[in-house]
């Protein structure tokens, strides 16, 4: 595999632990530097990463010759600034979703990377696991016939019930659509192709939320975004998807994702996870059957998208000396952002909104066992 690929991490909040579980011991990458607004947290993380140094700030990290790719785990409102700085420094950037806090900033991120000749990767990479990829393989092999429709549903009472600092979930760049929507919408792009138009509706149940746990329990957080969004996506190939995401409901019995076609229906597992049972009900069959995993990175975790992007995941689409477009790509991230922006714009205008970006759907991930992608 050669020398490990140098990674610098910006932002060391709760999600960073999941990424480090995937990256810390992987022979194909080395965490060379970390930085965070809380220097003590950065020191603590670096202490568990042999050879990693604490960078004073983003500029210091970008000046490090050992850092080839920046892993951006900051909050959504900072994503564009970090990504633009990475492009200016000639560094590739892989970041958490969404690509940026709004559509204009997302377009700037992709354009800046194109001018600089750098690459942009964007979560979610959960879609590269065996759950969504096995379902996609079933669709592509014709098991549901011609795809006609899909449904995607995610509801909760709001992140303030468990997160001690939920402010950014209710600021611009947050809300159930921009926070959870990317898991479902990216999955739908993999399953049914890009979206050509959207029509949406949205609401906000209240103007403040009360933090339920942690040192700020009882404090009110202002709500500046829609907290219930629903809509229809018209895919370029003709299928229609119905999507609902909400911070205004307690629970749902609905399956996270279902795909329907002329010859069968699929239940797709939770796209916020990498695995789960894919169920198929064939026309004229005997009911639901569980399909064995047939595609995707087996037992993957957050960070597999970065590994694939840098050629360290053992996938045939990657490899030393090659620079293929990452499967968890900025182009798909931009498309998903345009879909989300379109749903919100449509909810205000009452009209259908055309989607201008039409990215290539990333290649199917072959069934890749841990012994391969973990090096």
Alpha helices in 57-119 (DSSP H): 58-62, 76-88, 103-116
**pLDDT tens string 285-316:** 999 999 999 999 999 999 999 999 999 998 55
The residue-averaged pLDDT of 269-280 equals 98
- Specify the pLDDT at position 319: 42
Do 371 and 297 form a contact (C-beta atoms < 8 A)?
A: no
Task: Give the C-alpha separation, 229 to 80, whole Å.
Answer: 24
Beta partners for residue 54, in sequence order: 34
Q: pLDDT per residue over 18-66, tens digit each?
A: 999 999 999 999 999 999 999 999 999 999 999 999 999 999 999 999 9
b/e code 322-359 from CB counts within 10 Å (16+ = b): eebbbbbbbbbbbbbbbbbbbbbbbbeeeeebebebeb
How far is residue 121's CA from residue 32's CA, in Å, rounded to a whole number? 19
Coil/strand/helix, residue 120:
strand
320 vs 272, which has greater pLDDT? 272
Helices and strands counted in the chain (H then E): 10, 17
Would you say residue 12 has pLDDT above 90? Answer: yes
R_g of the chain computed on alpha carbons: 20
Q: Which domains does the chain have, with CATH numbers?
A: 5-125+300-329+363-373 (3.40.50.720), 126-295+332-354 (3.30.360.10)
Residue 1 has pLDDT above 60, yes or no: no
pLDDT for 105-147, tens place per residue? 999 999 999 999 999 999 999 999 999 999 999 999 999 999 9
Question: How far apart are alpha carbons 327 and 308 in whole angstroms?
Answer: 7
Q: What is the pLDDT of residue 172?
A: 87
- Which band of pLDDT confidence, cut at 50, 70 and 90, is reported for residue 325? confident
Question: In this structure, what token pair is assigned to residue 227?
Answer: 């907290």
pLDDT in tens, 345-368: 999 999 999 999 999 999 999 999
Model pLDDT for residues 235-257, shown as the tens digit of each residue: 999 999 999 999 999 999 999 99
pLDDT over 70, % of the chain: 97
Let me know if 161 is exposed, middle or buried by CB neighbors in 10 A (0-12, 13-18, 19+): middle
């Amino acid at each position: 595999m050669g020398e490990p690929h140098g990674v610098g991490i910006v932002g060391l909040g709760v999600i960073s632990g999941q990424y480090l579980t995937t990256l810390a011991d992987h022979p194909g990458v080395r965490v060379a530097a970390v930085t965070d607004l809380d220097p003590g947290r950065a020191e603590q993380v670096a202490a568990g990463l042999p050879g990693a140094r604490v960078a004073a700030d983003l500029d210091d990290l970008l000046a490090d010759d050992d850092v080839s790719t920046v892993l951006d785990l900051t909050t959504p409102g900072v994503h564009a600034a970090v990504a633009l700085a990475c492009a200016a420094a000639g560094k590739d950037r892989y970041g958490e979703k969404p690509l940026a806090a709004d559509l204009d900033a997302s377009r700037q991120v992709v354009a800046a990377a194109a001018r600089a000749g750098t690459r942009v990767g964007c979560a979610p990479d959960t879609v590269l696991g065996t759950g969504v990829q096995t379902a996609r393989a079933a669709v592509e092999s014709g098991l549901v016939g011609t795809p006609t429709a899909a449904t995607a549903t995610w509801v909760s009472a709001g992140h303030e019930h468990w997160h001690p600092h939920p402010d950014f979930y209710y600021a611009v760049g947050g809300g159930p659509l921009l926070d959870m929507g990317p898991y479902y919408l990216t999955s739908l792009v993999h399953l049914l192709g890009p979206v050509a138009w959207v029509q949406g509706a949205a609401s906000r149940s209240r103007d403040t939320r009360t933090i339920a746990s942690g040192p700020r329990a009882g404090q009110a957080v202002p709500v500046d975004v829609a907290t219930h969004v629903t809509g229809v996506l018209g895919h370029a190939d003709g299928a229609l998807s119905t999507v609902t995401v909400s911070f205004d409901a307690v629970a749902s019995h609905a399956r996270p994702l279902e795909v329907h076609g002329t010859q069968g229906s699929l239940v797709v597992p939770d796209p916020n996870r990498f695995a789960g049972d894919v169920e198929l009900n064939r026309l004229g069959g005997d009911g639901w059957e569980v399909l064995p995993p047939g595609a995707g990175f087996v037992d993957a975790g957050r960070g597999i998208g970065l590994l694939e992007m840098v050629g360290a995941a053992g996938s045939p689409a990657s490899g030393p000396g090659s620079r293929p477009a990452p499967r968890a790509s900025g182009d798909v991230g931009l498309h998903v952002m345009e879909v989300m922006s379109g749903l919100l714009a449509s909810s205000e205008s009452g009209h259908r909104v055309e989607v201008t970006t039409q990215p290539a759907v990333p290649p199917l991930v072959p069934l890749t066992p841990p012994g391969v992608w973990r090096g």
